Amino acid sequence: MSGQGPGSEVWAAKHLRLAVEAAGVALWSWNVETNRLTMDERAFELWGMDWAPEVSFELLSGHIHPADQDRVRLAFEATRLTTGPFEIDFRINVDDAVRWVSARGEGGDEGIIDSTMFGVFLDVTERKQAEESNELLAGEMSHRVKNLLSIATGLTNISYRSASTTHDMAAGLTDRLVALGRAHDLVRPQPGSDDRVALLGDLISVLLAPYDQGDADDRHIKVAVGRIGVGEAAATTMAMVIHELATNSLKYGALSCPKGRLEVKTQDDGDEMLLLTWAESGGPEITSVPSLHGFGNQMVERSLNQQFGGTLQYDWQRTGLVASLTLRKDRLAI
């Protein structure tokens, strides 16, 4: 039983290694005099490198993301002068992928033994991606709240201009808000529903219905879209795009005045791409090209590119905006 009991160094070392492996920890030691590191196999795997007895700090730094290299170099140099634990997160390039690594150790004289500092690497890619997703979600939610407030303000103004009494205004505003609710139901089917596909024309019509200031015989918004199915994920993205275009039009374009007109139509030439045209007229005269660098416009262009492999082009005519959206038809069904 010698060397196997709980009190032996062999037993302790074995179980320490098991604990380290279970925690996904990679070990490293850094000789601050020679500037070379010794790492275990897990560390080399994490960095996407072949195992070697040791590796120079310069060679290892070559795998760090260019935007983080100077920061990491300064942080490691500072650990030689700073007493106490340290931690730094940074990105590394592994083939065509980017990983997030957390380097942790003990700085100053307390952490250095025979000119060697010891520490660990942790793969924190999933945590960092979750943080980035949360930041993006927070930004998107903030943008959506602002858009909702803008939409509510615009719909109130539309209802006020088109109503002769407070009762008519309340009824008109209620109808428009209800239409927005129907659009939400169309985009997001209820749990347990088998109907997961909407028609593009129906979706656009429902989304734009609250903005139409005309009566039944004089609609200000015309939707002429072919019979094209839209999957749930695509419908959500399209709703964001249509809402952004409508919000901008409500602020600055044809939907901001009673005489404004909007026509949305599609052109299908039989190839893999679908052309959707958003044409405004009758609104304020356009005398200069507006600046489109806000979060909403960036979101629209990114959504079209990522979700639909498409593009968005603006033609600022004096009579109104004409926007051309290209969409991959196969991605509309997703």
Domains of the chain, by residue range, sit at: 9-123, 177-332
Specify the pLDDT at position 293: 60
Q: Where are the beta strands (DSSP E) in 242-330?
A: 261-268, 273-281, 311-317, 320-328
pLDDT at 292: 66
Q: Three-state SS for 319?
A: coil
Q: Is 164 helix (H, G, I), strand (E, B) or coil?
A: coil
Specify the pLDDT at position 223.
92
Pair 44, 50: CB distance under 8 Å? yes
Report yes or no: 267 and 277 within 8 Å, Cβ to Cβ: yes
pLDDT score at 151: 65
Nearest CA to 331 among 311, 302, 301, 310? 310
Point out which residues pair with 317 in neighbouring strands.
320
The pairs formed by 175-184 with CB atoms below 8 angstroms and a separation of 24 or more are 175/210, 176/209, 176/210, 176/211, 177/210, 179/206, 179/209, 179/210, 180/151, 180/207, 180/210, 182/206, 182/209, 183/207, 183/209, 183/239
Copy the structure tokens of residue 98: 């980017």
- pTM score, two decimals? 0.48
Give residue 222's pLDDT.
Answer: 92
Which pLDDT score, from 0 to 100, does residue 2 have? 46
Would you call 308 exposed, middle or buried from its count of C-beta atoms within 10 A (0-12, 13-18, 19+)? Answer: buried
Give pLDDT tens digits along the chain (334 positions): 445 555 566 655 665 666 666 667 888 888 888 889 999 989 999 999 999 999 998 999 999 999 999 998 888 888 777 777 888 899 999 988 899 999 988 766 555 667 788 888 999 988 888 888 788 778 777 776 776 676 677 667 666 765 678 887 787 677 667 766 666 676 555 455 445 567 889 889 888 887 876 665 667 899 999 888 887 777 777 877 887 788 788 878 898 888 899 999 998 877 889 999 999 999 898 888 877 665 566 767 877 888 888 888 999 999 999 999 999 988 887 7
- The DSSP result for 87-120, as a single string, is EEEEEEEETTEEEEEEEEEEEHHHHEETTEEEEE
**Tokens in use for 160?**
């006020």
Q: How far apart are CA 41 and CA 47, in angstroms?
A: 10
Q: Which CATH superfamily is domain 9-123 in?
A: PAS domain (3.30.450.20)
Residue 254 and residue 158 in contact, taking contact as beta carbons nearer than 8 Å: no
Assess contact for 54 and 75: CB atoms under 8 A: no
User: Which amino acid is it at 54?
Assistant: E
CATH topology of domain 177-332: Heat Shock Protein 90 (3.30.565)
Q: What are the angstrom distances between the C-alpha of 56 and each of 98, 109, 176, 316?
A: 21, 22, 66, 57
| Identity at 246, one-letter amino acid code | A
d(CA 105, CA 262): 62
What's the rounded Cα separation, in Å, for the pair 217 and 45? 69
**What's the pLDDT at 1?**
43
